[in-house]
Chain A
């Protein structure tokens, strides 16, 4: 695969971009990573994702693919000879996609408003922890006693959920609260470490300290407040 045939538009701190990068790593596919400048959107981004104007965008042979989980599935289907990302059984696939949607739509939005909340912070923390309890149960069932949600190798749901771990750790530091507790969710705690040190993950995950630094910035606070009010 010539580098020019495959481009990924992204940014270092985006969990969604990380998903695409992990998927490409799993398939050992070479690509050109085009880093967007935070706070501005490149012409290429606006042209290739006119609907949402958001990263990540994968551009393959000139054709854009948008929305991180759709990109992950595209990568899996296009480079089908590499290790599989989605399970092969339709029911297992449906379960993986269910939890992928859950973390995106129900669970992560609470994390985004953690720093913006005042007195309601306790409620948000409770919601996040309840979500982690659900995810612990899911992990136990889906991993079938193995290392990952994808069992022996990392898969779709590992990628979908795992990309949020950096931010989870950063927000724990910023808000001085423990969210992922090995006493309460031992399976997830162990999985988090294994996931983060996986070869396909470790070079593309953002450093937690850099996320903390960004998270404390006025720009981040503004974005969190916006997310809380929407």
Chain B
């Protein structure tokens, strides 16, 4: 068994959730520590002094931070059920889209929520453009990883549980079946994989959280 694995996260963070999924898929036992981000634990601050953020994975007493980096670390340390493909070009492609998801897709979706009127329309156009790239990347495949879920499915998995919440708040679909046939199907398939299904934050709880956050946000 060796030294214990610890994961510092929160119940709702998409970034922490990716690590839960990876650990579950590989059958790795770990201790979960849910942080209150308004009152960060001394341990968290000690393990991630630069960013003071979750998730943090601790193994053999050493912390690893930044969720995509943690995913690769897990894949390299525990070789069962590999997440990244073997081929260097396919690996580069998976990394590229994971980064695109975090850098561009996430913020463009968030902007739809926080903007109003004309700015919201513009944000929707931008988000749709970004999502079209992802749809194109998925075309013809059951999962981004092929027949089984892999690194990119986990990296983009936040779409499956956050977008429905977003759509409920907005009152309209962002990833609709007509415009995004592959992505719509993938969201359902991904959420049905046992390791994922058993580790999804409750929709209603997420809805309440986002609603509360938006209500508290200053008006533009």
B89 interface residue per 8 A CB criterion: yes
Q: How far is the CA of A209 from the CA of B107 in the complex (A)?
A: 38
Q: Compute how far the CA of A77 lies from the CA of B76 in the bound complex, rounded to whole angstroms.
A: 14
Verify A74–B66 contact, CB threshold 8 A: no
A67→B96 contact, CB < 8 A: yes
A70 B69 Cβ-Cβ under 8 A: no
Contacts of A77 in B (CB 8 A): 88, 91
**Cβ contacts A67-108/B at 8 Å (1 or 0 each):** 100110110011000000000001101100110011000100
| A190: interface (CB < 8 Å) | no
In the complex, whether A51 has a CB less than 8 A from a CB of chain B is yes
**Chain A residues within an 8 Å CB radius of B72:** 93-94, 97
How long is the Cα–Cα vector from A134 to B92 in the complex, in angstroms? 29
Is the pair B76, A74 in contact by a Cβ cutoff of 8 Å?
no
With A51-B100, A90-B76, A93-B73 in contact, do A65 and B66 touch (Cβ < 8 Å)? no
**Cα separation A77 to B89 with both chains bound (whole Å):** 9
B39 on the A face (CB < 8 A)? no
B69 touches A90 (CB 8 A): no
Measured CB to CB, the closest approach of chain A to B9, in angstroms, equals 17
B73 touches A70 (CB 8 A): no
Contact call A67/B99, Cβ cutoff below 8 A: yes
**Taking CB as reference atom, which chain B residue is nearest A65?**
B92
A66 within 8 A of B: yes
> B interface, by DSSP: helix, strand, loop or mixed?
helix
Task: Enumerate chain A residues within 8 angstroms of B91, measured Cβ to Cβ.
Answer: 73-74, 77
Contacts of A78 in B (CB 8 A): 88
Chain A residues in 8 Å Cβ range of B100: 51
Q: How big is the B interface, by class?
A: 20 to 34
| Residue A3 is within 8 A (CB to CB) of chain B in the complex | no
Smallest CB-CB separation from B86: which chain A residue? A77
Query: A98 and B69: CB pair below 8 A?
Result: yes
Q: Measured between C-beta atoms, what is the minimum distance from A53 to chain B in Å?
A: 13
A98: chain B residues at CB < 8 Å are: 64-66, 69
Asked if B77 and A60 make an inter-chain contact with CB atoms under 8 angstroms apart, the answer reads no
Closest CB of chain A to B126's CB: distance in Å? 13
Given contacts A60-B89, A67-B99, A73-B95, contact A91 B64 (CB under 8 A): yes
- Give the CA-CA distance A116 to B196 in the complex, in Å: 47
Contact B96 A93 (CB under 8 A): no
Bitwise interface map of B from 41 to 71 toward A, beta carbon under 8 Å scored 1, else 0 = 0000000001000000000101011100110
Can you offer 10 A-B residue contacts whose CB atoms are under 8 A? A51-B100, A65-B89, A70-B95, A70-B96, A71-B92, A77-B88, A94-B73, A97-B72, A98-B64, A106-B50
